[in-house]
Amino acid sequence: MSYSTRFTRRGLLAAGGIASAGFLLTACGSDSTSSGSASGDSASGDSASGGDSTSASGRRTGGGWSFTDDRKTTVTAPGVPSRVVAFTGTAAALVDFGIDKQIVGVFGETKRGDGKPDPQAGDLDVNRVTILGNVWGEFNIEKYAALRPDLLVTHMYDPGQLWYVPDESKSKILQLAPSVTISTGRVPLTTPIERYAELAASLGADLKAKKVTDAKARFEAASAALHQAATSNRIKVMAASGSPDLFYVSSPEVSTDLMYFARLGVDFVVPPKLDPGGYFQSLSWENAGSYAADVILLDNRDSALQPKDLAAKPAWTRLPAVKANQVAPWSAVPRFSYAGAAPLLEDLARAITNARKVS
């Protein structure tokens, strides 16, 4: 698979992701008898009735459990799932909300070449969980089955697409346990954060715990700071990613994080002609200077070229933002929790505050 094809398939991973803080914030069984085996059925959003409801879409009812995901599919189980397998960034978000020991396996970038945790992993203990795959396209089905999963959880950037679950083995994987997906494209950043909070609460997390409330307060303060920076220093920002052959310019009208940043006042480059999928426009390097920008947010994942890799490309070094040293790292697939997102807002606010107009 070529680099550019892989990026198209990922939707560039969302590359491929306020007047005040309140403006936008107004089938394998478990070895645990309390969990049982979950089952999924296509429903319009009604959860099991009776008992205490954890949210509009997730419930724990007298030992039973159900959750309606963003496919409008309701997953039910006799007990709260105790063996959860998730995309690494999803698992990290659940950890931020207080779910940890239930996570037994992950897939997606988890460890870097030197053995250290990938930033996507956040506070997840990557040495405690089973890693089913560490790059796009890897998912060890045998290891997955051996984990006796109760539930698989991942993002959904495009309708019906399970993030980092390979299409060619998807049917086999989904036979082993029910799945929950949360929409992470075409909605503002706060939406998947709130949905993952709901899922975590249904799995037993305490959203009133100090760790969670402190993270939310930091997120709200960071949102207000970004709004202040963006409205005080009116500069043009471009979110981009580089490959050997192509330069990708992302749309703030589709990518979840960019959409939220734009609502806070960030003035983004909006490419008018998007590639299939709608997340970005791919440009030849000869056309990398098509759009004027004062600050470039550059995809910081291992799959994308970094400034040191791009230094030999004249088309890159000629960009005004690059000449002015106004290139900031961009987490194109953010961690959808308050703790994961707050630093991104803070970093962008700092980059905009310190930038000068050069385009």
Question: How does pLDDT run across 306-329, given as a tens digit for each residue?
Answer: 999 999 999 999 999 999 999 999
Q: What is the mean pLDDT of residues 278-292?
A: 96
Per-residue pLDDT band at 113 (split at 50, 70, 90)? confident
So what's the pLDDT on residue 355?
98
Question: How does pLDDT run across 246-264, given as a tens digit for each residue?
Answer: 999 999 999 999 999 999 9
In residues, how long is the chain?
Answer: 359
Place of tokens 């987490």: 331
HSE-CB for 215 with a 13 A CA cutoff: 23
The more confident residue out of 267 and 38 is 267
Place of tokens 């990938």: 118
Nearest 10 degrees: Cα torsion 86, 76, 17, 119:
-20
| Per-residue CA distances from 97 to 12, 165, 218 (Å) | 27, 23, 14
So what's the pLDDT on residue 56?
52
The more confident residue out of 12 and 83 is 83
Structure tokens at 181: 């997906």
Per-residue pLDDT band at 40 (split at 50, 70, 90)? very low
Structural domains in the chain plus CATH codes: 3-20+214-354 (3.40.50.1980), 39-187 (3.40.50.1980)
Question: How does pLDDT run across 64-80, given as a tens digit for each residue?
Answer: 899 999 999 999 999 99
Question: How does pLDDT run across 176-207, given as a tens digit for each residue?
Answer: 999 999 999 999 999 999 999 999 999 999 99
